[in-house]
A and B are shown apart, each in its own frame.
Chain A
Amino acid sequence: MQPRFDTGRRRTLGQNQLSGRYFRRRAWVALLGVSLIFLGLFARFYYLQVVEHSRYSSQSEANRVRIRPIAPNRGLIYDRNGMLLARNVPAYRLEVIPEQVGNLEAMLEELANVIPLSETDRSRVQRLRKLRRSFQPIPVKLRLSEADLARFAVNRYRFPGVEAVPYLSRDYPLGETMAHVLGYVGHISEKELARLDEKRYRGTNLVGKTGLEAYYEDALHGEPGFEEVETNAQGRVLRVLRRELPQPGEDLHLTLDAGLQQAAYKALGQHRGAVVAMKPESGEILALVSKPSFDPNPFVTGILHRDYQALLSQPGRPLFNRALLGGYEPGSTIKPFMALAGLASGVLSPDETWYSDGTFQIPGRKRIYRDWKKGGHGKVNLEQALAQSVNGFFYNLALRMGIDRIHDWLAPFGFGQVTGIDMPREKPGLLPSRAWKRAVHNSAWFDGETVIVGIGQGPFVVTPLQLAWAVNKLASRKDLPRPHLKKMTEPWPEQSRLDRIPPAAWEQVQKGMVAVVHGAHGSARRIGHGLPFTMAGKTGTAQVFGHKEDATDEERKVEGLAEHLKHHALFIAYAPVEKPQIAVAVVVEHGGGGSRVAAPVARDVIRYWLERQP
């Protein structure tokens, strides 16, 4: 069998030999060239290494000027009034230069007798020892205590190659109150090392891991400086020849108010939950609290493995930022937005009434949707329906609007999408729609689902931040710039569907929300007593366990329930209604109904803020 293609083998032997001879001649010429070039290369090295040897040798001796990076000071973080939230504090760290220590393991053992070393410290030394060269210092322990420092000073002679080096460490004076907002810095991990610009981080030990410290890492870090130092032949520094100072990182000024933040943190008490407060007519966030929280300071020096595991395994998940990542059903807090949607789309006329007998049925269907009050609320108009949170009114409204119109009118409030806040990892929540159900469940939308979306249940998911942004739009009666924590001018949305909502509709919904707090039958009338200002609010309850269709009187139902089975309590509010100064969203996990625990939290936060306004 012959090859499919002619490789030249089939040519007559004579021809092949001819081209072979030709090839050999050319190959020899090439080899001659190669040989000459190699001789040239050898000559070059002979010239450099033998003829010029003494010259380069002395240059190499003199070659002791090295360039060392100087880490920049990290930018500070202030609240809106200039109060310091993240600062740099002078501290000492223990460093070891491996090549100056005979047996690193033995030395660490001995050192541990003088200064307590954790497992985290030891494993870091082992890890960095592989990454760095033997004459480069490795941090053994960060932020030595006064006692450790003193003990080391006394025993220093025993540990050649180990030094206590001054540096600036990061400190968060408000601790757990601010932990979820600020995040924290920590040791640069190998993964981060690969991502970061090596030139900028050559002298840096700490990098933003979460929260604002991570989001604004680039600006906070600053530009490193350099110093030219003369070294001896072993690389030890003899003196500094020239120094180019580093450029400190930019300071970060926040819209956050530390006092309000603390007030909100305190108001939540022992409950798990989140509070987000915003300034109306802007995207400024005044407070952003998630509870339980954690102390960020141990993370800066390297948290002990044991402590970290403890944080992870706590049932309240203190590392979890509920304000941005927690997803909750909006429950009845969606009703003011539904009302606006109904009025704006013309489906709901302003003077419409509804007779509540305690139940609701889709015409021609069997299933019964209930009011929370047994026997119903009687005949109610829109304001009363909001004040008493009458489910039937909104079942009816939702059914008449249909899911598409509901989706189109709730979306501009910011539900179902990320707000764009200047923090890492925000959750988008979920605003149900026909398209969503088709994409995720691959099935058609049913009217029964529309009905429960009308009272903020079903697959509906919001984050506390989204809810606060939506309430702020309610208070401001317009679309707003994206929420932000850094003081800056954010662009306003150019046009919005919200502009099409008539002033009378905003006014009417506000009336209903005022009645929630101040009305005789308002669902949160308990907090309205003796308030020196007028406040608009709305209660809500997010279901935890599965009897979503009959939302009967949760407040009574939950009394005897175990804590983890209780519903989540929600409350949204803004005040004063004449000229809103603050908009708040509160979620209290397992708090039962919205009025009992969530409303007082919102009231306390608002009262604190209004008492301090001029």
Chain B
Amino acid sequence: MNPLALFRWHRPDWVLLLTILALFGFGLAVLYSASGHNPDVVLKQAVRMAVGLLAMLILSQLRPIHLYNWAPWLFAISVALLLAVLLMGSVSKGANRWLDLGFFRFQPSELMKLALPLMLARSLARRPPPLAWRDLLQALAWMGLAAALIIKQPDLGTAILVVASGLYVLYLAGLRRRVIFTTLVLMLAAMPVVWRFIMHDYQRDRVLTFLNPESDPLGRGWNIIQSKIAIGSGGLFGKGWGQGTQSQLEFLPERHTDFILAVVAEEFGLLGVSLLLCLYVVLIYRGMIIAMEASTPFNRLLAGSLTLTFFTYVLVNVGMVSGLLPVVGVPLPLISYGGTSMVTLLTAFGMIMAVAGDKPFLHR
């Protein structure tokens, strides 16, 4: 067989596929309730899911060698598009994140979420651990460029996620432990400076609101307070599907997008939340196992970093909705209404599946 063929046909990883399908089913059921029983919203989301799944399955058949080859181009294109957004993007809610291509609008920062780990996995794949200083500096330069362009939009939440995906590659590629600990200490020490000089007013607001939501119950604290009431009042078994008063009576803002987990918690209780978290854990474990069994360093780094990035999404959203983390606009992976993050995540899972299929002596 020609090793440079674009695709290598194989059965996609069924654990990942079935878990994703389960999440989708669960998500649509919750969305129907959260959208006020609006079948149009559910249908629209289902169409997005189907399109995303198709893209994921096609991508899963790709040979990762091509991702390796394309990585620099993807990265270059992402940087170019981010620059284009800064120059001529359309402004929504005071931030400039979208590129209007006429027929559809597109967030280049989403592309960067995939392009950066690809780029770093490629450049570090040939370096045996532990990571050399020279390689570390080069990787940090790529990360800095990507983060700077996204922060400029300004979109701190996405910038943090992009940086996190890069850090995971560094960690998995063998960043020295000494460096990790030193950096953590330095970051803690630098926090006051970041607070004072780097963060925007709206970001400081969010953190203050997070620390003390009761200070502004009708304004900025409203989301967190209402979300906690929704979750807490759900109890062990929930109020039942479509019976959540917090969400049905519209006390809970953004209930079908970023705060959909609160609807899950209110209507399905701790049981529903546990089920959801279990599904996420399955995805993450499976992704890491695929990474560990991968045949080449590039494949390992790619699958490992994408899986851990997915975990970060879950963590940030769940933490935010339950009041553990400040409110940043990160949707609940694979559940929240909206197409942008869904496409990115399914693309990532498509790549992980591609890694799973890339065994030197694969029996089909």
Contact = CB atoms under 8 A, between A and B. Distances in A.
A7 B322 contact: no
B109 interface: no
- Chain A interface extent, by class: 35 or more
Interface string B246-272: 101111000000000000010001100
Contact of A7 (B37, B270, B298): B298
Contact of B37 (A11, A31, A48, A134): A134
Contacts of A9: 295-296, 360
A231 B274 CA distance: 32
Contacts of B295: 9
B54 interface: no
B288 A31 contact: yes
Contact of A1 (B2, B277, B284, B322): B2
B285 A48 contact: no
A18 B297 CA distance: 11
B304 interface: yes
Interface string A19-31: 1101110110011
B231 A48 contact: yes
A379 interface: no
A53 to B, nearest CB: 5
B249 A235 contact: yes
A56 B229 contact: yes
Contacts of B315: 37, 41
Interface residues of B, number: 64
Interface string A537-578: 000000000000000000000000000000000000000000
A281 B228 CA distance: 66
Contact of B245 (A5, A18, A37, A233): A233
Interface in A1-51: 1-9, 11, 15-16, 18-20, 22-24, 26-27, 30-31, 34-35, 37-38, 41-42, 44-46, 48-50
A233 B229 CA distance: 15
A55 B229 CA distance: 9
Contacts of A31: 284-285, 288
B40 interface: yes
Given A8-B125, A37-B315, A49-B269, A24 B284 contact: no
Contacts of A15: 128
A18 B36 CA distance: 55
A130 B38 CA distance: 7
B287 to A, nearest CB: 10
B170 to A, nearest CB: 11
Given A18-B128, A27-B288, A60-B246, A8 B296 contact: yes
B319 interface: yes
Interface in B229-243: 229-236
Interface in B12-69: 36-38, 40, 64-65, 68-69
A6 B236 CA distance: 53
Contact of B265 (A5, A49, A64): A49
A265 B132 CA distance: 87
Nearest to A58: B233
B172 interface: yes
B232 A57 contact: yes
A45 B322 contact: yes
A186 to B, nearest CB: 24
A52 interface: yes
Contact of A24 (B232, B292, B298, B319): B292
Contacts of A4: 4, 69
B94 interface: no
B231 A60 contact: no
Contacts of B311: 34
B3 interface: yes
Contact of A45 (B3, B231, B248): B231
Given A20-B300, A22-B129, A63-B251, A45 B270 contact: yes
A35 B129 CA distance: 25
Contacts of A8: 125-126, 296-298
B149 interface: no
A438 interface: no
Given A22-B174, A45-B273, A48-B232, A66 B249 contact: yes
A30 B308 contact: yes
A591 B68 CA distance: 77
A56 B233 contact: yes
Which of A3, A11, A34, A66 gathers the greatest number of chain B CB atoms within 10 Å? A34
A5 B65 CA distance: 8
Given A3-B3, A22-B174, A56-B232, A48 B322 contact: yes
Interface in B269-310: 269-270, 273-274, 277, 280-281, 284-285, 288, 291-292, 295-301, 304, 308
A30 B128 CA distance: 19
A5 B228 CA distance: 52
Interface string B315-340: 10011001010000000000000000
A374 interface: no
Contacts of B69: 4-5
Contacts of B3: 1-3
A1 B65 CA distance: 14
Given A11-B126, A45-B322, A63-B245, 4 more contacts: A27-B291, A56-B233, A60-B233, A235-B248
16 contacts: A2-B3, A4-B4, A8-B126, A9-B295, A18-B128, A23-B129, A23-B304, A45-B273, A50-B235, A56-B231, A56-B232, A59-B229, A60-B229, A63-B226, A66-B249, A235-B249
Interface of A: 1-9, 11, 15-16, 18-20, 22-24, 26-27, 30-31, 34-35, 37-38, 41-42, 44-46, 48-50, 52-53, 55-57, 59-60, 63-64, 66, 130, 133-134, 231, 233, 235
Q: 7 closest A-B pairs (Cβ-Cβ)?
A: A56-B232, A60-B233, A8-B297, A133-B36, A49-B270, A48-B232, A56-B233
